[in-house]
Amino acid sequence: DKRCAEYYKAGARFAKWRSVVSIPAGPSLIALRDCAYGLARYAAIAQNAGLVPIVEPEVLLDGDQDIDRCLEVQEAVWAETFKYLADNKVLFEGILLKPAMVTPGADSANKASPETVAKYTLNLLRRRVPPAVPGIMFLSGGQSELEATLNLNAMNQKPNPWHVSFSYARALQNSVLKTWQGKPENLKAGQEALLKRAKANSQAQLGQYDPSNESADASQR
């Protein structure tokens, strides 16, 4: 409580807490509940201090599981998370959710198209996330820049009850870092690469992304 109050006084208005679930490691029901309860307590404390909690129940893409197994685990994680958020009287209108998309594991031999990822992920959202939650800010972990942007674009082909957007690191930075390389002479090119990635994902959250101008680097993980 004290730390959140201090952060608010210092000018912060958002907070973030991340809990991680590994599919190859189980997960056990106890692990799921521990993850969910910790997120819920953090969110309640943050809201009491006037902060908007970003709730991040991240299901890692590590492993060779198929997309159906990923959906099964994510449904269980999100069910527990929203149950404990409600128990702790967290205001759903005052949070942002930062989850992973529903995809096959990184080592899976069966890849999924953007349309399939969008279908599974939106089904998960409809089954587990109250429409009162204003925004879903997806992670890009384990995906290439192109995959993450195409998947987000596919999810926004029709209206959703939530603002479905992105909170990417790798899918914004990968080609940027390769272009810049920490060299002063590459600064302008690096900035242009960052603007290109930002624009691509901005268009994807509107369902208007065109991948025809992407470079080969965008498809690399």
Q: Among all residues, which ones are annotated catalytic?
A: 56, 98
d(CA 37, CA 81): 7
Q: Which of 189, 150, 191, 149 is nearest to 170 (CA)?
A: 149
Tokens of 57: 């129940």
∠ CA(33), CA(42), CA(122), 5° rounding? 65
Q: What is the dihedral of CA 101, 84, 130, 29, to 10 degrees?
A: 40
Query: Sheet harboring 135-138: ordered strands across?
Result: 14-21, 52-59, 96-97, 135-138, 163-166
> In 3-state terms, what secondary structure has residue 3?
helix
Q: Which of 72, 80, 81 is nearest to 42 (CA)?
A: 81
* Helix 187-204 × helix 170-180 angle, to 10°: 160
Q: Which of 182, 166, 171 is nearest to 218 (CA)?
A: 171
